[in-house]
Amino acid sequence: MKKLEKKKRPTGMRKRHIPIRTCISCGEKRPKKELIRLVLDARGFVFRDDCGTGQGRGAYVCLKKSCWERLRAVRRLNRAFRKEGPVTLHPELWA
């Protein structure tokens, strides 16, 4: 009897994993690189985390203007960061 041999993939044909995140404003799922990460730090300030390594709880938002406006109007940040009461936004966040 012949043993069944596994077919090997040619080198360089490996599929790369792309992390997917959800926008907290519109609920659309997109690749992580297409979204902006917001972080709630220990002091209670929400700020933009461009490098993606900031400490604290993170949430992702689309680059669309409508998503940013909806963030201001509705208390989506409170829900995303699981925080009661007002969220203090860092001034540079909206610049």
CATH number at residue 73: 3.30.1230.10
| Residue 14 CA: distances (Å) to CA of 8, 11, 37 | 11, 7, 28
Q: What is the pLDDT of residue 47?
A: 85
pLDDT at 82: 84
Say which DSSP state 43 is in. Answer: T
Distance CA 25, CA 70 (A): 6
C-alpha span between 47 and 59 (Å, rounded): 10
Q: Is residue 43 part of a domain?
A: yes
Q: What domain range includes position 68? A: 20-94
- Domain assignment present for residue 44? The answer is yes
Neighbours of 21 (CB within 10 A): 18
Total structural domains in the chain?
1
Structural tokens at position 53: 């390594």
Q: Is residue 5 situated within a structural domain? A: no
Instruction: Please give the Cα distance from 52 to 28 (Å, whole number).
Output: 19
Q: Which residues of the chain are under the pLDDT cut of 50?
A: none
